[in-house]
Amino acid sequence: MTDLSPLIAAPGANTIPYLDPAFPDRRLILHGARPQDYSPNIPVLFVHHGVARNGEAYRNYWLNHVDEAGILAISIEFPEEAFPEYLWYNFGNLHNKDGTPNPREQWTFGIDERLFAALQAQGITRRQRYGVFGHSAGGQYVHRMLSFGYRDRVAVAVSANAGTYAMPDLEIPWPFGLGEVGLTPDTLKPVLEFPITVMAGTEDTKTTGKFFPKGPRSLRQGAHRHERAHNYVRIGRDAAQALGTNCRWTVIDVPGVGHDGKGMSAAAAPVIAAALHASETP
């Protein structure tokens, strides 16, 4: 088991390599942002980077906020050489390139849960729940992870500026919907009832970037990322009404911010801090 204590060795930035038990041959990197006033009683936030796999940069974004927020932030970096392309990261390794399904224990969506359990086992946190924040490709990872049940110990979840979504529609095949992956109306209800916060930069409307998803299935979700975020929540509310339940998803516009991980982290910090501190009494 990886010794996680170096993540809290000193206030500020700390970085260590990490091996998840399910992927012992694929190295992750953990970038910690430890506040000055750290104790095992403070909340934990896992941060998920974008397509550039720049976990250190995302940790640095949160260095500006951990003291005021009173949280320990850990940016989980998925290096390209170990977790290549979108199937391993954005789409959680549910299937191979040829469409062959992988067993659930090989889904990368389980990494957050196991890391939190390791932090508890090593006495780094006494909390019972954690937060997750993902931007861009990380926003894709976060909302898809929640869609498959990895949410029992999640106190707050923010998906920001995702390029595409797994729409809560069982008629649309995965990964652009939740069809053909074994979900049913009964298993879709808890997804809709979980309070996902979707954050959308009002200026995230550019469609010319190298990594902007512009295939036909992506464009059906909206012309740009801002529109897709609102469509995701709207379709969730429609699905909940059809199933006779309540959709607890929220969409928050971030004025004047485009596809900017730093700006979206700053907007998310007070939302996440408030929810984490309210989630349990240490």
CB contact at 8 A, 92 and 103: no
CA atoms of 179 and 187, how far apart (whole Å): 12
Q: Are 175 and 205 in contact (CB under 8 A)?
A: no
- Residue 186 exposed, middle or buried by CB count within 10 Å (0-12, 13-18, 19+): exposed
* pLDDT tens series, the chain, 282 aa: 899 999 999 999 999 999 999 999 999 999 999 999 999 999 999 999 999 999 999 999 999 999 999 999 999 999 999 999 999 999 999 999 988 999 999 999 999 999 999 999 999 999 999 999 999 999 999 999 999 999 999 999 999 999 999 999 999 999 999 999 999 999 999 999 999 999 999 999 999 888 899 999 999 999 999 999 999 999 999 999 999 999 999 999 999 999 999 999 999 999 999 999 999 876
- Contact between residue 166 and residue 239 where contact means Cβ atoms under 8 Å apart: no
What domains can be seen in the chain, in order of their start residue? 5-279 (3.40.50.1820)
What's the whole-model pTM score? 0.97
**Dist. CA 205–CA 267, nearest whole Å:** 18
The amino acid occupying position 78 is: F
